[in-house]
């Protein structure tokens, strides 16, 4: 038994990793890097908004009508949900819980409000990271460089960023994205440390008993 314990990985419960940031701080890029370099799955949200060209049901979102969304929310099937510009978004509970029980980690791209709801429903599983830009000037530069929005929209995003940054104290970790590679390494270090927490490794008890039995 002890010999087998050395050869097998120790059973672990997965964790919920939240990355939040104002637009332009680098959250989306860091999320993509994590999905490429780490064994972590992206939580697929359910939404009432119309499907855009190129989007695949079940891959980008689970697309449902408002009646179905309201039914899911009322039945407690969503870990968090919100209405944004007339469209509803939420996180289905079942697939997340199944992943955690199987020892798989799940990545969430939600704002501070979604993070607050997730913490309420699963405080022991949640690890939250807030990504900050190095300066307001750099944030504005990044938003202009993206060339996705006009000046009016960029000003609105800058104003919203100020409000979002006011919630930084509600997160477990804060990473200042001065350099993308360094910020990515910081996030990976957080993930590695949280995976090793004793309470996330239920298989440790059997492993330690196996070691003790041979002493």
The per-residue pLDDT for 136 is: 76
Domains and CATH numbers, the chain: 2-43+104-213 (3.40.50.300)
According to DSSP, residue 175 is labeled E
pTM, 2 dp: 0.85
Taking 70 as the threshold, does the pLDDT of residue 5 lie above it?
no
The per-residue pLDDT for 134 is: 86
Cα separation of 124 and 133, whole Å? 28
Cα separation of 134 and 124, whole Å? 30
Q: What is the pLDDT of residues 110-141, one digit of tens each?
A: 899 999 999 999 999 999 999 998 887 777 77
The per-residue pLDDT for 7 is: 45
Q: What is the pLDDT of residues 56-85, one digit of tens each?
A: 999 999 999 999 999 999 999 999 999 987
């Amino acid at each position: 038994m002890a010999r087998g314990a050395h050869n097998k990985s120790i059973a672990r419960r997965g964790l919920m990793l939240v990355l939040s940031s104002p637009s332009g701080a680098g959250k989306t890029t860091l999320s993509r890097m994590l999905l490429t370099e780490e064994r972590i799955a992206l939580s697929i949200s359910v939404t009432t908004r119309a499907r855009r060209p190129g989007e695949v049901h079940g891959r980008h979102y689970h697309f449902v009508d408002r009646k179905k969304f309201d039914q899911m929310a009322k039945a407690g099937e969503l870990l968090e949900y919100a209405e944004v510009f007339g469209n509803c978004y939420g996180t289905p509970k079942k697939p997340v819980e199944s992943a955690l029980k199987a020892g798989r980690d799940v990545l969430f791209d939600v704002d501070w409000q979604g993070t607050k709801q997730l913490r309420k429903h699963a405080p022991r599983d949640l690890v939250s990271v807030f990504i900050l830009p190095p300066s307001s000037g750099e944030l504005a530069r990044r938003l202009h460089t993206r060339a996705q929005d006009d000046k009016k929209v960029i000003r609105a995003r800058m104003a919203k960023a100020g409000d979002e940054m006011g919630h930084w104290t509600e997160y477990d970790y804060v990473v200042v994205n001065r350099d993308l590679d360094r910020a990515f390494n910081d996030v990976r270090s957080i993930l590695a440390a949280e995976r090793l927490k004793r309470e996330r490794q239920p298989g440790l008890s059997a492993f330690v008993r196996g070691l003790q039995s041979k002493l």
